[in-house]
């Protein structure tokens, strides 16, 4: 599994894109890359793009992940926009949103333009992440 992330300090947003088959373990491996970045701020908004990924985890695995994530002092407190293109990812994002509603507002979208409006960010921001190299989490 591979992913990319970009932190835009000016717009106060973190962009993440996941590729290929992803498990909860893969997501757990990606988190330290983001949390340890010098520009990371838990109050920033986040856009997570799962359109190029295939969710390969169970509802129970996601619920277990959420329990641990909620206890993490570095967890995201800003709004979260999740981009999806297939029903399994949408269902998992909905479950995540229900479990996290006390921590942050979640929107589930199919297009970048919807994310731009929800997070109030520049439409060009996704071009910045497209130019980055992927990080392998194998």
Domains and CATH numbers, the chain: 2-136 (3.30.750.24)
Q: List the strands of the sheet with 80-83, edge to edge.
A: 106-109, 80-83, 45-55, 13-22, 2-8, 135-136
* DSSP 8-state secondary structure symbol assigned to residue 55: E
Q: Looking at residue 50, what is its pLDDT?
A: 94
CA 9 and chain centroid, separation: 17
Check pLDDT > 90 for residue 137: no
Dihedral sign, Cα of residue 61, residue 62, residue 67, residue 70: positive
For 27, the enclosing helix (H) or strand (E) is: helix 24-35
Span 14-63, pLDDT tens digits: 999 999 999 999 999 999 999 999 999 999 999 999 999 998 888 899 89
CA dihedral 117, 107, 72, 130 (to 10 degrees): -60
Span 55-100, pLDDT tens digits: 888 889 989 998 888 889 999 999 999 999 988 888 889 989 888 8
Q: What is the pTM of this model?
A: 0.91
Q: Looking at residue 102, what is its pLDDT?
A: 87
């Amino acid at each position: 599994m591979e992913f990319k992330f970009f932190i835009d300090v000016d717009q106060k947003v973190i962009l993440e894109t996941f590729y290929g088959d992803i498990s909860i373990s893969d997501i757990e491996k990606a988190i330290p890359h983001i949390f340890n970045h010098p520009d990371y701020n838990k109050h920033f908004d986040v856009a997570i793009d799962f359109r190029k990924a295939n969710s390969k985890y169970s509802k129970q695995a996601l619920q277990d992940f959420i329990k641990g994530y909620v206890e993490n002092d570095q967890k995201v407190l800003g709004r979260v926009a999740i981009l999806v293109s297939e029903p399994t990812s949408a269902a998992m994002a909905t479950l995540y949103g229900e479990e996290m509603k006390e921590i942050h507002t979640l929107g589930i979208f199919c297009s970048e333009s919807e994310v731009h409006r929800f997070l109030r960010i520049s439409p060009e921001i996704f071009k910045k992440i497209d130019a980055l190299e992927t990080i392998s989490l194998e």
